[in-house]
Amino acid sequence: MGKKVFQNILETIGDTPLVRLNKVFKDCPADIYVKVEYFNPGHSIKDRIGIKMIEDAEKAGKIVEGGTIIECTSGNTGMGIALASIVKGYKCIFTTTDKQSKEKLDLLRALGAEVVVCPTDVEPKDPRSYYSVAEKLSKEIPNSYWCNQYDNLSNREAHYLSTGPEIWEQTDGKITHFVVPVGTGGTISGTAKYLKEKNPNIKVWGIDSYGSVFKKYLETGIFDKNEIYPYLLEGVGEDILPENVDFDLIDLFEKVSDKDAAIMARKMAREEGILTGYSAGSAIQGIEQLKGSLAEGDVVVAILHDHGSRYINKIYNDDWMMERGFLQRGKKLRHVIETKIQKDLISVAPNDKLKNVLNKITETGISQMPVFEDGKPVGSIHENDILMFVMGDQSKLEQTVEKVMQPPFPTIDYDKDVSDVVKYLTRKNPAVMTQDRSGSYHIVTTYDLVKNLND
């Protein structure tokens, strides 16, 4: 009952969910929402423009049945075009750069496309660039059409007709800030045009990468080639000025580093359960950097372009992250927890009698324990504290823990590096507490860390 039946996969494009972020921005007064575009069938926002560019080309007579669609793509647009081409009966050839993830290239080939990999570090007009190779192929192959998402205004028109209206409706017209990583410019320009027609006071923030020309061009009007250098972020920033970027609609650009974008994407997965792509990490990091400009009552919407499954061997791979200095080499506190033989937390309560605690210490061989009340650590107790208290008067063993307990052990982040945890361990403080992702508490002692060195 109530479930719609679709005639083909292209009919499922759009109407993606808007999801509130609850943990990443706990200290931000604004309401932060993300438009989760990986709910599209090709797992990215580019599905919206793939079908639009092809259908507009058909109407203009630029491609006919049995032809070949050609595009230069970082992967996602290729997926959208490939899906549309399968349904409509076209062949596909995609040019891409050698910095794109292997997963993206494998997916394009899985959909029957031919993929030509071109060097990243060349000028756009260089005959080896993925722009130039796509243009050359379109001239050589009969009945072919180069979509050219950078300058094809069907790109931003797709977002004017779909993404913008969806966001306006989903926020009941309350949106105050729109945040987008900018590559071809279609998403930000098309969506912003619609939103600003509804409310010209909406702020539009573009996210740029270091090594891209957008930010300086918006602020100065200067296209500075000295701004251009290689970077790792995919689908963000450019070394050209695409016709789809309408700078008049963009209020500011914020640059985000490769490292910060990658770390934020991983944080989104851990804290929000949203496994999203590299560019999405840059969008959320951009909000983090600009959150001082936000106030209570603001409604912020950020675009999450694609799914994290396309970056499993990159930003979600610890070795890849460590090789680039994005993660420190070394064990995390969670690794120590995972290798502990005694994983169940042994604790006592403030009203437990000292004699019972001493028996527990003797039975378990544990010299220190956290004191819990109502599921929270409220103190700590060490065997030496008990011995000093009852020395010469064993009747004091009938007293309760609260008489001798010390402050709680420090609670440390579950993903803290072991090298940082050591700083919290002293003679007076022989252990630390941590909470895993399910909320369960664990204790880690100096002994645990020493033992882990040999594991």
- Tokens representing residue 335 in the block: 């690794």
Query: Which of 130, 42, 120 shows the shortest CA–CA distance to 83?
Result: 42
Distance between CA atoms of residues 241 and 263, nearest Å: 28
Contact between residue 269 and residue 275 where contact means Cβ atoms under 8 Å apart: yes
- Under 8 Å between Cβ of 335 and 359: no
Q: Which of 46, 52, 203, 331 is catalytic?
A: 46
Strand partners, 332: 417
Q: Report which of 195, 180, 165 is spatially closest to residue 15, judged by C-alpha positions.
A: 165
Pull the structure tokens for residue 445. 């002692």
Residues near 23 by beta carbon (within 8 Å), at least 6 away in sequence: 271, 272
Quote the CA–CA distance of 375 and 336 in Å, as a whole number. 23
Nearest CA to 416 out of 397, 432, 439 is that of: 432
Q: With b meaning 16 or more CB within 10 Å and e meaning fewer, what string describes 172-181?
A: eeebbbbbbb
Q: Quick one: angle between helices 154-161 and 47-59, nearest 10?
A: 120
- Closest by CA position to 367, among listed 358, 375, 376: 358
Q: Is 46 annotated as catalytic?
A: yes
Question: Shortest CA distance to 152 belongs to which of 87, 74, 234, 60?
Answer: 60
Distance CA 239, CA 224 (A): 9
Task: Give the residue numbers annotated as catalytic, written as ranges.
Answer: 46
